[in-house]
Structure 1
Amino acid sequence: MFRSFLKLSILTIQTAFTYITGAIGDLYDEREAANIAHIVLEYITGMNKLDRLVHKTKLLTPDQNARLKTAIEALLRLEPVQYVTGTSWFYGMELLVNKSVLIPRPETEELVEWIVQELAGKPRPHLLDIGTGSGCIPLALKKSIPAAVVSGIDVSEDALTVARDNATKQRLDVSFWHMDTLNTRQTDTLPMFDVIVSNPPYITQSEKAEMQQQVWGFEPSLALFVPDNDALLFYRYIAQLAQHKLNAGGALYFEINESLGKEVVALLEEQGFTAVVLKQDMFGKDRMVKGTFTK
């Protein structure tokens, strides 16, 4: 079907939708293929779903037709649709994304919501996101808690470029710093915070074989994987950092590998954190941990 599409010179919005879903039908189930087709067509036409329905017989321009061809080719290479369009929705914000950053996930929205709820009534909390990537976590926190002083750090300059562009696009005042979480000389220069949050790399190399190629083939390995023999590497370093950089009564929040919940809880308790809580996500999987630090 995709080859026949290439031979067509005139496409309407409706026929373009049909060709997208047909081209990727062997890769995705019917519902997901339709959802991807809607995302691609909004990206190409600039029209929302209702407008596309009203104007379904509208012809694509030659430029739109060419962009559609490029998009389908990328999808057939298993490239995630968010990288095809360059955007991803998170916490009500349309964020810029590229292959330098992870695609924000709904589970991470739950982590943000947990923090927002627990900070209700705090006058001016200072918040830090470690391994910020696209900046989705600190931007969502700043959006929800305007009085908060929010910062993010990342080892990747390319990721920080995306995060800063997102802050500009969303008109949110968030500071982003280039810093290696595992370099204590660098992290020692950080100020004090009331909350530290991180969604660090937590997938072991041996788990890679179980993942979809859309993830490991395109999303940055630096932000995904840890060694099989040290799956808690980043949790350990960040917990040690938090001991020095959290104000009394401050909280540390993690997104975690669903198979390492008990291990992360034990690590935080060993590091002196109290009232450690393991929380499940919307799918009932162990996904988030919180620990309180009292000096």
Structure 2
Amino acid sequence: MFAKILFLPLTIQTAFTFITGAIGDIYDEREASNIAHIVLEHITGLGKLDRIIHKERDLSPAQKEQLTAAIAALQRMEPIQYITGTAWFYGLEFNVSPAVLIPRPETEELVDWIVKDTVGRHGLHILDIGTGSGCIPLSLKSAMPDAVISGADVSDAALDVARSNAAKLNLEVNFRHLDALDSVQMGALESFDIIVSNPPYITQKEQAEMQQQVWGFEPSLALFVPDHDALLFYRHIALTALEKLSKPGYLYFEINEALGKEVVELLQGLGFEGVELKQDFFGKDRMVKAGITA
């Protein structure tokens, strides 16, 4: 079927219908339509209005090759963001690849919490641990231009993506290699006013309940923790924060919605003050903030 596409005339409108039909068994009608629009914008470079105006325009042979590759990837349930290589986050377009998690709306809420909490504060030193695409530190830098911001990750491939995004967005963030579970590396960090992290927090037993688009393509290194130690990264990062946060200083986490109480108790037990559990737009426990003042 795909081979025929390369030899037949195919207009933008016909291509739209072809995409939605090819993935109709995987996605509902609305989602299939949204995905088709994204694919065609990626392939043609035309926005939705221009595609309507030029709906009878034929795709070029190269564009048809892109289309067949995109449909094959979609039928493998590959996320659309990896197919286009981009994802929007906090009003910015980021490069993404299978080396990094796809930025998500709930993480935007975490960024927005920090931005709103720091209104009127200047020259803050901020560290994002487990930075992936760099979406958190780069979004913070865009909103807080005079902040000194770093992003750290154990994956060199992820850091390459993050640095490409810094260059693309023309934002100055220092990206560095760091293993959050290595006490020597963590102990060598300088001090920060804010430490933020969206660490791995999905237990292995939860994987069976996840969509294939997530566990089949996104990096497991950034997703999963052992069933017997779900708070592994929270504990290591929090212990570092106790030593490295300025006073006053604040720690922000994105969390597993099922572990809000446990994360709060962990932070309170370590001596953090004013520990606050916050729900996301969907009413799920998703973020925690903790302070240290003395």
Is TM > 0.5 for Structure 1 vs Structure 2? yes
1:165 is aligned to: 164
Give 1:71-150 correspondences, 5 Å limit: 71-150=70-149
SS in 1 for 2:275: strand
Sort the Cα spacing of 1:286 and 1:7 in 2 relative to 1 into closer, same or farther, 3 A. same
Alignment identity in percent? 65
Residue-pair matches, total = 294
Deviation readout 1:86-123 (Å, 9 max, x if unpaired): 11111111100000000000000000000000000001
Question: Aligned partners of 2:232 and 2:283: how far apart in 1?
Answer: 25
Question: Aligned partners of 2:176 and 2:112: how far apart in 1?
Answer: 24
**Structure 1 letter corresponding to 2:127:** L
Confirm or deny: 8 A CA contact 2:5 2:64 kept in the other structure: no
Give 1:104-253 correspondences, 5 Å limit: 104-253=103-252
Select between 154-163 and 45-54 the one with higher mean Cα deviation: 45-54
SS in 2 for 1:177: strand
Question: Aligned partners of 2:103 and 2:29: how far apart in 1?
Answer: 23
* 1:9 and 2:18 are equivalent in the alignment: no
Confirm or deny: 8 A CA contact 1:202 1:226 kept in the other structure: yes
**Structure 2 letter corresponding to 1:130:** I
SS in 2 for 1:56: coil
SS in 1 for 2:240: helix
1:6 positional shift: 3.5
**Structure 2 letter corresponding to 1:15:** T
Select between 159-168 and 47-56 the one with higher mean Cα deviation: 47-56
2:45 is aligned to: 46
Question: Aligned partners of 1:201 and 1:16: how far apart in 2?
Answer: 38
SS in 1 for 2:82: helix
Confirm or deny: 8 A CA contact 1:246 1:293 kept in the other structure: yes
2:275 is aligned to: 276
SS in 2 for 1:88: strand
Confirm or deny: 8 A CA contact 2:252 2:288 kept in the other structure: yes
Question: Aligned partners of 2:74 and 2:126: how far apart in 1?
Answer: 37
Question: Aligned partners of 1:71 and 1:121: how far apart in 2?
Answer: 46
Confirm or deny: 8 A CA contact 1:5 1:19 kept in the other structure: no
2:24 is aligned to: 25
Runs (5+) with no aligned partner, structure 2: none
Question: Aligned partners of 1:248 and 1:213: how far apart in 2?
Answer: 43
Question: Aligned partners of 2:54 and 2:130: how far apart in 1?
Answer: 43
Deviation readout 1:165-210 (Å, 9 max, x if unpaired): 0000000000000010110111122111010000000000000000
1:3 positional shift: 5.2
**Structure 2 letter corresponding to 1:87:** T
1:50 positional shift: 1.0
SS in 1 for 2:190: coil
Question: Aligned partners of 1:13 and 1:157: how far apart in 2?
Answer: 39
**Structure 2 letter corresponding to 1:34:** S
Question: Aligned partners of 1:243 and 1:8: how far apart in 2?
Answer: 64
1:5 positional shift: 5.9
Runs (5+) with no aligned partner, structure 1: none
**Structure 2 letter corresponding to 1:251:** Y
1:228 positional shift: 0.2
CA RMSD of aligned residues (A): 1.1
TM-score of the superposition, structure 1-length normalised? Answer: 0.98
Question: Aligned partners of 2:32 and 2:11: how far apart in 1?
Answer: 18
Question: Aligned partners of 2:28 and 2:292: how far apart in 1?
Answer: 46
Deviation readout 1:219-238 (Å, 9 max, x if unpaired): 00000000000000000000
1:4 positional shift: 8.6
Confirm or deny: 8 A CA contact 2:11 2:55 kept in the other structure: yes
Question: Aligned partners of 2:293 and 2:181: how far apart in 1?
Answer: 23
SS in 2 for 1:110: helix
Question: Aligned partners of 2:59 and 2:264: how far apart in 1?
Answer: 54
